[in-house]
Amino acid sequence: MDQLPVEDMQSFKARKFLMWLFIISSFMMFAALTSGFIVYTEGNAERGIKVLLPKAFIYSTVIIIISSITMHMAYLSAKKLEFWKQKLYTILTILLGIAFFFSQYSAWMVLTDAGAFFVNYNASQSFIYVFTGAHLLHIFGGILMLLYSLIGKMRNIPQVRNLFRIEVTSLFWHFIDILWIYLYVFLLLNQ
Amino acid sequence: MASTAIHDTAVLHHHDDHGHDHGHHKETFITKYIFSQDHKMIAKQFLITGIIMAVIAMILSILFRLQLAWPDKSFPLLETFLGSKWAEGGRIKPDFYLALVTIHGTMMVFFVLTAGLSGTFSNLLIPLQLGARDMASPFLNMLSYWLFFTACCIMMASFFVESGPASAGWTVYPPLSALPKAISGSGTGMTLWLISMVAFIASSLIGALNYISTVLNMRTRGMDMWKMPLTIWAFLLTAIVGVLSFPVLVSAVVLLIFDRSFGTSFYLSDIVVAGQILPNQGGSPVLWQHLFWFLGHPEVYIVIMPALGITSEVIATNSRKPIFGYHAMVYSLIGITVLSFIVWGHHMFVTGMNPFLGGVFMITTLIIAVPSAVKTFNYLATIWRGNLRFTPAMLFAVGLVSFFISGGLTGIFLGNAALDINLHDTYFVVAHFHLVMGAAAIFGMLCGVYHWYPKMFGRMMDERLGYIHFWLTFIGAYLVFFPMHFMGIDGVPRRYYAFTEFAFMQEWLTVNVFITWAAIIAALAQVAFLWNFFYSIFYGKKAPQNPWDSNTLEWTAPVEHLHGNWPGEIPSVYRWPYDYSKPGHHQDFIPQTVPFSETMSSNLQHDFEDNPEAELIQEEWNRKHASKGHAAEEIK
């Protein structure tokens, strides 16, 4: 019976590892999409992005980098048992995530104004929407996770579990930050 | 201060969970059999769902075999069962024939040999053979099963829609699959196929994440990676392949859904349907093939590797010998895992691929023969001069080795870019993959069912029915697939509806009749299995704790299933799992839980490679007992 808490900690470790594995599989999905883009675009000279990437993508990049910082602050506060700060930074991160959503949406608007629609005979341009759309789904999932850890803190769940939730959430959030930078750089290189 | 807080809450949390555990004692039917989070129950759910899917897929195959053997004959019974829409006048209609082939392939590859095989045995054996109470996340594990079940239901539902199930082959190549108007099967049926696959991918990804995390984090004391049974190595590497390849299929499927329902042109270009030019331009159908086969090829290893792992365990146990070349077995699995990702091009040799690139894919493909041959030779070397016990499980394991050899050999022909010009899309391919990944993997699965049935249900299966099942299936499978090689070499293409239209194919009609009879007999043999399986759940002989005198950890758990697997402490592990017939020991097996201090008479030098102290103790003991032995000799 004395063994059980050890097994509990083991299960936390194992479940945190699940997030790493999820990150790997999610990265594989984007790797497939981007290599699909390369295979497609290289196939014919008429294909390619052939449009200036909207400025909003730069704003998005700034927003998501700041959100990564606030995320880390939330994690540090949770570790130092400064819970009001943890809540504050979590809320800030959520807000930045929502701002990212709108920034990406405005980028789509700019793209459609430039004539680069989703339904397009040059599917290289459709790919921009697929990349950003799939990434936004991840942002949405990240916001749900942030809410989950925020609600947990509001309900005063035990510190081990609080720390576990915020750790896993921040892991995911940093991943989608880096993922966006990868996608943006990829698009810039193929512009 | 923080650390004490953590410690206290950890204890609190544990009590919390503990209360939860007690809740399981008064389980209701729903929590025990339906929404169970216990890995053993989930394994059984996967197995039985897989068996049901296998039976359905087998019936589908018999239906199209009837059409192939007797294309001009009418079977009024078919019209009675299938209705005049699919079997007007008692003959299978061409559209339905294509649907049968497609759904047979999809169900067998994904539902039976991926979910049914990995889902069952990874779930059952990973916690039991590693000494864990359950999976890393029991909840996700349950979710994985229910997503799989949903996928099965959606796939079955496509039989009941107006336009029929998907018919573009299990690889669903666009543009055929992307245009709802192209054939009737590309309508609603194809949409359902895609939805079903998305649910299935989610299920197997969640499952794979759980397997990897459990193997890497939740092994019991003493169970380092090199003491794991080969089954676990196989499940781990299978899950790794799944995690890396299934997301790629997600991408491919998402783009296909956009093409079908939103009007994009990822895969579509220059298409005329029924005299009408479609607006889609600029797409590339070869893109689908790249994305699909980047999953599709690893998928065949997802299918065969668990079967190979199960076979390693069963052959070693029933040969009463240590597995030959344990490390080589592991490294060859790792080799297969790595190589599986760089060979997908061999499915696309004739898509206009650059011949140089084709040469690269040819070389990587042929290299796979090396780890595969290592495994085969190790199986044969393990069997060599063993004290063989031909239990049904052992027979199926040997059957797997046989199919793996005869199917693997033709892979060398097909992997050759030049020969493939002649052989691709013929019955030669059908024969090859049905032997090497179809029959072999099914035999691995059946081998696992016969071997671990006592662990799953606490009862034994009937051996005599097992032997009948084995011999009829084994001979039947060879009679079905072997003649197909010759058809393929003659250039007979796969997926054709009737052999009556082309003069050169007509002479193969008699062979088709022969194959169909063999298939019917092999299918009837499965009745022996099904009867045996379901009858024994309730009325089989009660199983002892360790019916096969096996070394691995699952046989130290009580026969009665309980939540958490072991009452009290989890056993510790002291040795590798293959100490069979070790010289000097009074029994021909030493379970992993027996410490070396209890087996002084059989310990060898290399048991203590990193432990000079233990070596000294052993030497001391040896000296003492050697002099005693001498004394005994002299008295004589």
- Could you list the mean pLDDT of each consecutive 10-residue stretch along chain A, which spans 191 residues? 54 86 94 93 84 92 96 95 93 96 95 89 91 96 96 90 93 96 94 80
**At B628, is the pLDDT very low, low, confident or very high (cuts 50, 70, 90)?**
low
List the single range of B79-88, B330-339, B420-429, B471-480 with lowest mean pLDDT. Answer: B79-88
The sign of the dihedral angle between the CA atoms of B553, B559, B561, B564 is negative
B32/A151: higher pLDDT: A151
Q: Cα–Cα distances in Å, from B522 out to A151, B61, B446, B475?
A: 58, 12, 14, 8
Cα three-residue angle B23-B25-B27, rounded to 5 degrees: 80
Most A CBs within 10 A among B18, B139, B255, hence the mutation to make, goes to B255
Q: What CA–CA distances, in Å, run from B305 to A141, B179, B326, B464? A: 33, 36, 15, 28
Closest CA to A146 of A99, A102, A92: A92
User: What interface predicted TM-score (ipTM) does this complex get?
Assistant: 0.91
Classify the C-alpha dihedral B401-B402-B403-B404 as positive or negative: positive
Q: Would an 8 Å CB–CB cutoff place B293 in contact with chain A?
A: no
Residue of B nearest to A22 (CA): B209
Q: Is B213 on the interface with A (CB under 8 A)?
A: yes
Least confident window among B87-101, B114-128, B207-221, B262-276 = B262-276
The C-alpha atoms of residue B308 and residue B437 are separated, in whole angstroms, by 11
Output the pLDDT for position B4: 34
> B245 contacts in A (CB within 8 Å)?
28
Of the partner residues B247, B282, B570, the one whose CB lies closest to the CB of residue A47: B282
Task: Using pLDDT thresholds of 50, 70 and 90, give the confidence band for residue B636.
Answer: very low
Is B216 in CB contact (< 8 Å) with chain A?
yes
Q: What is the mean pLDDT of chain B?
A: 91
CB-nearest to A158 from B13, B251, B570 is B13
Task: Decide: helix, strand or coil at residue B474.
Answer: helix
Tokens representing A153 are 């803190």
Residue A21, classed as helix, strand or coil, is: helix
Cα B366 from Cα B207, distance rounded (Å) = 31
Nearest CA in chain A to B568: A1
Of the pLDDT bands very low, low, confident and very high (cuts 50, 70, 90), residue B181 is confident
CB contact under 8 A, B10 and A29: no
- Indicate yes or no: CB of B218 within 8 angstroms of CB of A79: no
**SS3 call for B542:** strand
| Cα B605 from Cα B465, distance rounded (Å) | 45
Q: Do A29 and B281 touch (CB under 8 A)?
A: no
* Contact flag B140-A47 (C-beta cutoff 8 Å): no
pLDDT band of B371, cuts 50, 70, 90: very high
- Dist CA B10 CA A44 (whole Å): 60
Taking an 8 Å cut-off on Cβ atoms, the answer to whether A40 and B266 are in contact is yes
Convert the pLDDT of each residue in B514-531 to its tens digit.
999 999 999 999 999 999
- pLDDT tens by residue, B34-66: 888 999 999 999 999 999 999 999 999 999 999
- B139 in reach of chain A (CB within 8 A): no
Q: Considering CB atoms only, which of B9, B244, B281 is closest to A158? A: B9
Q: Which residue of B has its CA nearest to A16?
A: B213
Q: Is B572 on the interface with A (CB under 8 A)?
A: no
Q: Is the pLDDT of residue B254 over 90?
A: yes
In sequence order, the 6+-apart residues with CB closer than 8 A to the CB of B258 are A126, A130, B264, B266
CA distance B509 to B505: 7
Q: Decide if B133 touches A, using CB distance below 8 A.
A: yes
Is residue B219's pLDDT more than 70? yes
Distance CA A155, CA A158 (A): 9
Stretch B432-444: mean pLDDT, rounded? 96
CB spacing of A21 vs B243 below 8 angstroms: yes
Which of B3, B251, B267 best probes binding to A when mutated, by most A CB atoms within 10 angstroms?
Answer: B251
Those residues whose C-beta lies under 8 Å from the C-beta of residue B531, and which sit 6 or more positions away, are B465
**Residue numbers in A near B258 (CB within 8 A):** 126, 130
Query: Considering only A80-94, B452-466, B604-618, which range has the smallest mean pLDDT?
Result: B604-618
Place of tokens 């003649």: B483
What pLDDT sits at residue B553?
95
Tell me the per-residue pLDDT of A27-66, one tens digit each, with 9 for 90 and over.
999 999 999 999 898 888 888 888 889 999 999 999 999 9
Query: Is the Cβ pair B217, A43 closer than 8 Å?
Result: no
Instruction: Tell me which of B259-263, B302-306, B481-485 is least confident.
Output: B259-263
Q: Do B212 and A43 touch (CB under 8 A)?
A: no
- Higher confidence at residue B614 or residue B292? B292
Neighboring chain B residues of A156 at a CB cutoff of 8 Å: none
